[in-house]
Amino acid sequence: MHRYKGSLEGRIVLIKLFPDSESLADFAINDLVISAQMCAHNNVLKPIGCCLENRSLILVYEFPKNGFLADRIYICSDTRQHQPMAWESRLKIARQIAHAISYLRTAFSRPVIHMAIHMHSILLDEHDVPKLSNFFSVTIPEGETDVEAYNGLWHPKFKGPEFEAIGKVTEKFDVYDFGDLLMELLTGEDSYNTIRLIIDEDSSLVKYMYNCAQGYGINEIVDPAILAGEGGASLEQQLQAVLDLALTCTEEDPYRRPTMVDVTKELKLIERYVA
């Protein structure tokens, strides 16, 4: 998939171009349909139009002026055009995206799994309001608790261990990816390209955080840009609470992970930790 900035009837828009491919065509249709059905939610990237007559499908969306969340968070980002994001903003974005994912579970007749929760699926408007996009999305059939997902279509950011093991996912698949997202918000690190934290090639940010949680203080783990601002005991309390939540979300056993509704509620409580 390729993204372009364009203009439609005098309005700046985001254009997604999908090369001729059956699997990508399915993804494009899913992305369009789910985005349209969720357009009432403030934290979903709104579709404007599409062209499905060509071999390469074209989808048109509202333009997210402030770009990808990754460019504001990752320490390694070469494209960062703004100051690193403050912790208060990171936490608010986490709660808003958690609510959007929860909406996928409650707004449809059957639970919908996003399948691609990561920094490059979240864009920011001119006010840094996050917009969830890239709905790979599968729906759990009636009477089932899991579903086979994307046989033959593998994306490197699909992190849930159950998907790699058996090729099936439950509602808790997105919870794992969201837990990984929380860890990236905390550390400023890209799971696949860590800079500050030294992680073995055969390990991962999730495993590193599990190990560090036993022996390191929270201030040794988090992005130094977070600690550069005003903080104190309330900030440390929030950071530790988010780390604990991230660790719970990334449990190996999907049935031990919380639901996204519970995650959203917990983040609302954490936001209230003030001095």
The domain ranges of the chain are: 1-63, 65-138+149-271
Domain pair 1-63 / 65-138+149-271, same fold: no
Amino acid residing at 263: V
Sign of CA pseudo-dihedral 156, 205, 146, 269: negative
Report which of 23, 16, 22 is spatially closest to residue 1, judged by C-alpha positions.
16
Residue 193 DSSP code = B
Q: Residue 142: which pLDDT band, with cuts at 50, 70 and 90?
A: confident
Fold of 1-63: Phosphorylase Kinase; domain 1 (3.30.200)
| pLDDT score, position 44 | 96
| Averaged pLDDT, 113-141 | 92
Residues 6+ apart with CB under 8 A from 55: 20
Structure tokens at 249: 């979300």
| Averaged pLDDT, 202-212 | 81
| pLDDT score, position 230 | 66
| pLDDT score, position 69 | 95
User: For residue 77, is pLDDT > 60?
Assistant: no
User: For residue 49, is pLDDT > 80?
Assistant: yes
pTM: predicted TM-score of the whole model, two decimal places: 0.90
Query: What's the whole-number average pLDDT of the chain?
Result: 86
Domain covering 65-138+149-271 in this structure, CATH number = 1.10.510.10
The whole-angstrom separation of Cα 242 and Cα 222 is 11
The whole-angstrom separation of Cα 234 and Cα 207 is 26
Beta bridge partners of 60: 15, 49
| pLDDT score, position 95 | 98
Residues 6+ apart with CB under 8 A from 137: 30, 31, 34, 104, 112, 113, 114, 115
Residues 6+ apart with CB under 8 A from 47: 32, 35, 36, 39, 59, 60, 61
| Averaged pLDDT, 137-144 | 78
